[in-house]
Structures are given as C-alpha cells and as structure tokens.
Structure 1
Amino acid sequence: MDIQTALKIFRISESDTIKELNLSYRRLVLKYHPDRNLHRLEWSHKAMTRLNAAYETAVQHLGFASKKKNEGRHATAHDKIRPDVYTDIRQAFDLVLSGIFEYYQYGLENIHIRTGGSPRFHYVAAIRKTQRGTDRLTSIVRSNITPAERSNVKPLHDFALAFHSNMKISRTASPNSSAYDAKAYSHYRTASEYLDLTIQSFLFPEISNPKKRHSMPECLSVSNYEFLTVITAFPESSWVTDSVIKFHLLECFVKVTSAPIARM
C-alpha cells in the first residue's frame, strides 16, 4: 500500500506524528474490529487487514520522517545540554538500560521462571537497576534544567517509568478462567510477545533471536492492534489493566526511538 492511500485511510497528513496516527488507528479499530461486527465478519476481517496494512505503511513513513527530522537536531542536541547535565542523563539512562538488558538476557519477560533460584535473583537485580536509573532521571526532571534539557530527558524518563511498571506485572493466565477472559488473554499474550521482540531487537540486537526478528513497524502494528483489542473488545476482562500498562510502554518506546540523546 502506498503512503498516500494509508494517510487517507487515517485522515492524517505527512506533517502529523505517530501520536495522531495512533489516535486515528484506535478510533478505526473500534469501528472495524470483528468483535464489534459479528453480523458481518467477512467484511470486518477484510477491513482490519486493510487497516493494519495501512498502519504498517504509515508508521514506517512517519517514523522515518521523525527520524530524519531528529537527525537535523542530532548534531546540536549535545550542544543544547550542559555537559554535566548530559553526563547525568546518560549515566542514569545507561543504568536503566542495564536493568532492561538483564531482564531480557535471562528471559525474565517469562513470568513463570521468576519465582526462585538464579532467575529470581536476576529479576530482583534488574528491577533494582531500573528503579535506580529511573529515580535518577526523576531527580533530573525535577531539577533546575533548561527547557531544551527537559525535552531531551522527558522521553527517556517516561520510557523508564513505563518499563519499570511493565517489569512488575506478575499475573499469569488461570486454567479456570472464563472463555471471555481466556480469549482476552490470547490477544494480550500476542501483543506482549511482539512488544518484547520490538524493544529487545531495537535496544539489544546482540541478544535477540534472529529467527524471531520482524520489522519494527510490523511488530508495533501487531502489538498495537492486539492491546487495543483487549481494551476495546474485552472491556470487562481482567487483562485490561495490564494491557493499558503495556500499551503505554509501547507509546513511550516509540518516542524514545527517535530521542536524539538516546542514540548518542
């Protein structure tokens, strides 16, 4: 699908951001999702297939445009941040990344292995590192920094907070769940797996599984769709709260991928 067709579907322009794209995508999911169109399932599935194809095209195009725009700022981003503040931000975010790295290195996104032994030790260590780094970023955000410095640190801080909340999710599926909740969990699990794949592949390609790698727009599209399915199609499900937490992480991750200081 070409970009002009995709943008027309979402009624946005090339000057809009991924935030506007996601808002439009959510609105259209509510309109076309099969669970809301039980009387015309074939039409609904075709509409969602077209919508997801449009989303992949649009998110890739807008993400590239955002990246190019930020590259123009990249050379001067360091100049806009005082050296001591830059060092503080970099060290704080590196501590967050070290916690996230340990989390993925030992497969701790798999909740079932966290309960004891070495995995439990690494899980606690990963959370503590991420918490310490997040606390440092919080202190920087609350300190007397310039607007330019604040705009650089905010996406890192938001992502750190969101990932820390994600790490603390500990619910697992119950064999006694209702069919309604089990179906919601199926969407939640798929969304979570694609989100983890995306974050891990972007931040730590050296430990990601090459056989499971997909394009970032594809992973974001699937994850976005599946989380929204839980939230909108299964509003009474026990998985809505965790889906909202992870969906917020997804949004924060998209912003941090184009943050100049995150790539320095």
Structure 2
Amino acid sequence: MELEESFKILGIDENASIEELNITFRKLAKKYHPDFNHDREEWANKKMTQINLAYEVALNYFTSPSRKSASKDFKDRIWIFNKYFNRAKNYILQGMLIYYQYGLENPHLRNEGVRRIRFNDSIRYVEKGIKSLKDIYSTITDKAQKESCKILLEFSTAFFRNMNSSTYFRPSGNAYEDEAYWHFHNGIVLLDEAIKEIFFGDLIINIPNRGNYISKLSRSYEEFVLVVSEYPKSSWVVDTILQIYLVELLTKLIKVFKEMNY
C-alpha cells in the first residue's frame, strides 16, 4: 500500500503526530472491527484489514529516522528564528522605549543634558535591531518567517527615519500651512499614544485614554490623510506620507505579533 493511500484510509496527512495516528486508528477500529459489526462480519474484516495495513504503513513513515531528523531540523529552525527574531525585536523595542520615556518624540528636547545621551542610546538600539533583522532576513527561507521579519524590518526602518526627523513647527502666518501642521500634529500625538500603549502599556504611565489604541490609530490615519488630500501643496505633506506608511506598517505588525503570541 502506498503512503498516500494509507493517509486517505486513515483520514490524516503527513503533518499528523504519532499520537493523532493512534487516536485515529482506535476510532476506526471501534467503528469497523468485526466485534462491533456482527451483522456484516465479512465486510468488517475487509475494512479492518485495510485499516491495519494503512496503520502499519503510516506508522513506519512517522517513526522513520529520516522523518524524525526532518522534524527535529524543522523545530530547530523555528527555535533559531524565534531566538534571533526576538533579540532583534527587543533591541528595537528597547530603543523605542527610551525614546518615549524621555519624551524624545519632541525634537526640541533631544539636546537637553541627559536626554541627548538617551537619544543616542535609543538610536543605537534601533539601529542594532534593524541590522540584526537584515541579517536574519537574508538567511531564512521559510515564507511566513520571512514575511514576519520583513514587516518588522520595514516598520522599524520607518520608525528610525521618524526618530531622526527634526522638523520644528514655527507659525508662518500662512493659514494654509498652519492648518496643515495642526492636522499633522494631531495625527502624530495619536500615533505616539497608540504606539506607547501597544508596546509599553505597563512601562509608560502618562498614556491618555488607555485601551483605545485601535481608535487612536484610525484617527491618526484620518488626520494624516486629511493633510495629504486637503493640503497637497503644504510643506508637511512629505512628513505626513511617512506617518501614513508607519500607521499601515504598525497595523500589519500588530497582526504579526498576535499570530506569533508576542
């Protein structure tokens, strides 16, 4: 009997465990064994012969040294990916935490005493995480792992660009520019609050309206889109496009972290 046929008879596939194989076999035996089918013993005997043979073929497959080795290799690769992915993620989050704990999202604070040192620390951590992610991305082949790595890499790279932005608001007396700025500013505040809550809810105290990060993300996105659509000639459009990209990546990243149980 071919392996594929045995799987079909047993109703399992190659990803089943030996425990699942045994449970399936017992269920089928209870259903088709002649002892439970006195009114059609000949038919039951044929069915059980098929099931026994299928079980033997499948068991040989699941207990073969080559499959054990492949299974171990697969588990090892997952463990290695998680180890290095977590390390890169932690570098990035450490940098982001310092950035927010010291109020460094406000460019005018970045050169004040200890804040200047902490700003450099935050940059260094995020840079280190990005480099680690690039190394991981270049070596892995698993499609799902590669996609998870790519999303975190894109998000952290965009956030890094954001960290290095030093755009100050200076009232211009131009209503068009100033209105564009205030929509941009509102979006930034909402986005920063959402990021703080998503990643550092237990570590950062001063987060207004906790438990509402999804709404904050949505509202920040609306503010940014408003800048681009209603003030397309504003000097704030370029910075705003980066923020839109950041919100989109953050939304994807939340999903990735949930799937990976982070």
TM-score tier after normalising by the smaller chain length: 0.5 to 0.7
1:133 aligns with one of 129, 134, 139: 129
Q: Which residue of 1 aligns with 2:138?
A: 142
Does residue 168 in structure 1 map to residue 161 in structure 2? Answer: no
* 1:151 alignment counterpart: 147
1:237 matched to 2:230? The reply is no
Structure 2 residue runs without a partner (length 5+):
1-73
Given that 1:197 and 1:208 are in contact with CA atoms closer than 8 Å, whether structure 2 keeps it comes out as no
Equivalent position of 1:11 in the other structure: none
1:180 Cα offset (Å): 1.0
The one-letter code sitting in structure 1 at the alignment partner of 2:244 is F
Change (3 A) 1:152 1:219: same
What TM-score do the two structures reach when normalised by structure 2? 0.67
Q: Aligned residue for 2:192?
A: 196
* Cα displacement string for residues 138-176 of structure 1 (whole angstroms, at most 9, x for unaligned residues): 121122432132022222112111111111111011133
Where does structure 1 differ by over 6 angstroms across 4 or more consecutive aligned residues? Answer: none
Q: Determine the C-alpha separation between the residues in 2 that align with 1:220 and 1:81.
A: 35
Q: 2:214 pairs with 210, 214, 217, which one?
A: 217
Aligned residue pair count: 187
2:105 maps to which of 105, 109, 116: 109
Q: Which letter maps to 2:158?
A: A
**Aligned partner of 1:93: which letter?**
K
1:108–1:235: structure 2 CA closer, same or farther, 3 Å change rule? same
Offset, 1:130: 0.4
Q: What secondary structure does 1:237 align onto?
A: coil
Residue 123 of structure 1 corresponds to: 119
Take 1:216 and 1:135, find their aligned partners in 2: how far apart are those partners? Answer: 29
1:178 to 149, 174, 177: 174
Aligned-partner Cα distance in 2 for 1:104–1:147: 33
| CA RMSD in angstroms, aligned pairs only | 1.9
Which letter does structure 1 place at the counterpart of 2:119? Y
Give the structure, 1 or 2, with the largest relative contact order (CA under 8 Å, sep 6 or more): 1
Instruction: Give the superposition deviation at 1:80.
Output: 9.4
| CA–CA separation in structure 2 for the residues paired with 1:190 and 1:262 | 32
Q: Is there any run of 5+ residues in structure 1 with no aligned partner, and where? A: 1-77
| Aligned residues with identical type, % of pairs | 30
Contact 2:190–2:217 (CA<8 Å) still a contact in 1? yes
Structure 1 residues 220-245: Cα deviation after superposition (integer angstroms, max 9, x where no partner): 12101100011111111111111111
Shift of 1:185: 0.3
Question: Of 84, 89, 114, which aligns to 2:80?
Answer: 84
